[in-house]
Amino acid sequence: MKERPVVAESEMLRQREFMKLVEKMEDRPRSYHIVSMGCQMNERDSESIAGMLREMGMRPEPVRENADLILYNTCCVRENAENKALGNVIWLKELKKEKPDLMICVGGCMTQEKGMAAMMKARYPFIDLIYGTHNLYKLPEYVYRVLAEKRPVVEIMDIDGEVVEGMPEARRNRFNAFVNIMYGCDNFCTYCIVPYVRGRERSREPEAVIAECVRLQDEGAQEIMLLGQNVNSYRGGGAEFAELLYRIDRLGIPRIRFMTSHPKDLSDELIHAFAELRHLMPQLHLPVQSGSDEILRRMNRRYTRAHYLELVQKLRAACPDIGLTSDIIVGFPGETLEQFEETLSLVETVRFDAAYTFIYSPRKGTRAAEYPDETPYEVKSELIQRLIDLQQAISLEALKAQVGKRETVLVEAVSTRDSASVGGKTPRGMMVNFPGKPDLIGKMADVEITSAGRNTLRGRML
């Protein structure tokens, strides 16, 4: 992976000028509501978007219908994500009839897809701003133009490869923070649209990452999640990912996690880091996608089932308590019943704490979209249910094995089911709810695990 130029500081200063210009405009929106779809990378982008909108003088509005500016940060990894985004946009047309001054912005991975922006411009002329993934940092300029020119702005940039530093940000909270370390993906798994919409792999300089972590630590961060489509191929300023982790570990932030990892790039040094580093949490998301060598080959994953199982064994040898999670695709074109059953047997062998399972969704422009696919959707639905049932039984077993243990939980929020309880994660990444007051949020609490539910644990504070 190449190191790429950073977007010039002068460009960020230019954008800051636009933020000031917008702030001074009489008829500008006063409040914003962001709908963030998809992965953590999008969530992190939404924090930058929120930062820019705030600098333009807008305040967050929790109720979407009440906001003066609504922004959809979209995802396109599967067709249903796209349908959801488009469905929402169509609904906005009605809202705009009632509120003609409403500013509607749509950006992110879906709009970056080839031909999508042109289609949206033609079919949804009520959208005020359409931008992509590579020009997010120009949002202030675009908002200014929409207001000054009083007509829609549609701008998608094809150039990628730049790293943008110094964007404003409004973080979700002070105690757990996302930190991007690299962008894009060069792997071209045959089913995946990400390389087409997020561009080529490029890493941030380690100094920039460290400086951000230090700042977050000063602001009270208890946990940081390092983000990238494939963090294992991080290469910034000559440093590999494991080296970066060692440097971050020395800062002393209590908890470090990262995602996502590609099995083909998971190095022995990184496995070793799980044994050595004090603050690296014993949790790894390691998408396997399939348990069949033939399907893995046709997915262009570049590892075998045996290699994956070997990684699992090494990880558990280095860190016996590590919690592994995964992503699995069912119904890849041409997948036979036997090949699907190889995935079941892999799941049974590895025993993931949790797995995200998806029915294959053809994405235009990817190689697998051209492969013949004769299995009806109903059959795929039945198969995925078998996988879900198996994984649920294994997840429940993993949760039950925690009962009686004492764990330190970083409290994240009031429990959604019970307002007298709070919830947070154990080092292994399992969610625990326990009776407690909201003032625990953002703090570490020692908890004894008392019982296991379907997806979460219950406990009591010690």
Q: How far is the CB of 130 from ligand 5AD (least distance, A)?
A: 23
Residue 152 structure tokens: 């829609």
Q: How far is the CB of 195 from ligand SF4 (least distance, A)?
A: 5
The verdict on 192 binding ligand SF4 (CB under 6 A) reads: yes
343 binds, among ligand SF4, ligand 5AD, none (CB under 5 to 8 A by kind): none
Name the one range near ligand 5AD by CB under 6 A: 45-53, 234-242, 269-277, 353-361: 353-361
339 binds, among ligand 5AD, ligand SF4, none (CB under 5 to 8 A by kind): none
The verdict on 198 binding ligand 5AD (CB under 6 A) reads: no
230 binds, among ligand 5AD, ligand SF4, none (CB under 5 to 8 A by kind): ligand SF4
Closer residue to ligand 5AD in complex, CB, 22/286: 286
DSSP assignment of 104-173, as one string? EEEEEHHHHSTTHHHHHHHH-TT--EEE-STTGGGHHHHHHHHHHH-S-EEE-------B--------S-
Comparing every residue's Cβ against ligand 5AD, the nearest one is 327
Pairing relationship of beta strands 223-227 and 176-180 according to DSSP bridges: parallel
Q: Which of residues 248-277 bind ligand SF4 (CB under 6 A)?
A: 262
Closer residue to ligand SF4 in complex, CB, 33/202: 202
Rounded-to-5 percentages of helix, strand, coil across the chain: 40, 20, 35
d(CA 265, CA 267): 6
Is 240:268 a contact under the CB 8 Å cutoff?
no
Query: Under the phi-then-psi rule, with left for phi > 0, alpha for psi from -120 to 50, and beta for the rest, what region is 334?
Result: left
> Is residue 276 helix, strand or coil?
helix
195 binds, among ligand SF4, ligand 5AD, none (CB under 5 to 8 A by kind): ligand SF4
Is 90:80 a contact under the CB 8 Å cutoff?
no
The verdict on 181 binding ligand SF4 (CB under 6 A) reads: no
Residues 196-235: x/- map of binding to ligand SF4 (CB under 6 A)?
Answer: ---------------------------------xx-----
> Is residue 53 helix, strand or coil?
helix
Q: How far is the CB of 394 from ligand 5AD (least distance, A)?
A: 18
Q: Which amino acid is at 51?
A: G
Report how far apart, in Å, the C-alpha atoms of 302 and of each of 9, 198, 258, 264, 272 are.
38, 21, 22, 6, 22
| For residue 416, cis peptide bond before it (omega within 30 degrees of 0) | no
Helix-then-strand count for the chain, H and E:
14, 21
Q: How far is the CB of 301 from ligand SF4 (least distance, A)?
A: 7
Residue 392: which of 353, 429, 423 has the closest Cα? 353
The verdict on 77 binding ligand 5AD (CB under 6 A) reads: yes
Q: How far is the CB of 165 from ligand SF4 (least distance, A)?
A: 23
Point out which residues pair with 408 in neighbouring strands: 446
Is 326:352 a contact under the CB 8 Å cutoff?
yes
Residue 261: which of 239, 233, 238, 223 has the closest Cα? 233
Name the one range near ligand 5AD by CB under 6 A: 306-314, 357-365, 396-404, 421-429: 357-365
The verdict on 330 binding ligand 5AD (CB under 6 A) reads: no
Closer residue to ligand SF4 in complex, CB, 78/84: 78
The verdict on 74 binding ligand 5AD (CB under 6 A) reads: no
The verdict on 185 binding ligand SF4 (CB under 6 A) reads: yes
Is 334:290 a contact under the CB 8 Å cutoff?
no
The verdict on 363 binding ligand 5AD (CB under 6 A) reads: yes
Closer residue to ligand 5AD in complex, CB, 32/332: 332
Name the one range near ligand SF4 by CB under 6 A: 141-149, 186-194, 407-415, 441-449: 186-194
Among 130, 189, 209, 409, binds ligand SF4 (CB under 6 A): 189
Residues that bind ligand 5AD (CB under 6 A): 77-78, 191-192, 287, 289, 327, 329, 358, 360-361, 363
Residues that bind ligand SF4 (CB under 6 A): 185, 187-189, 192, 194-195, 229-230, 262
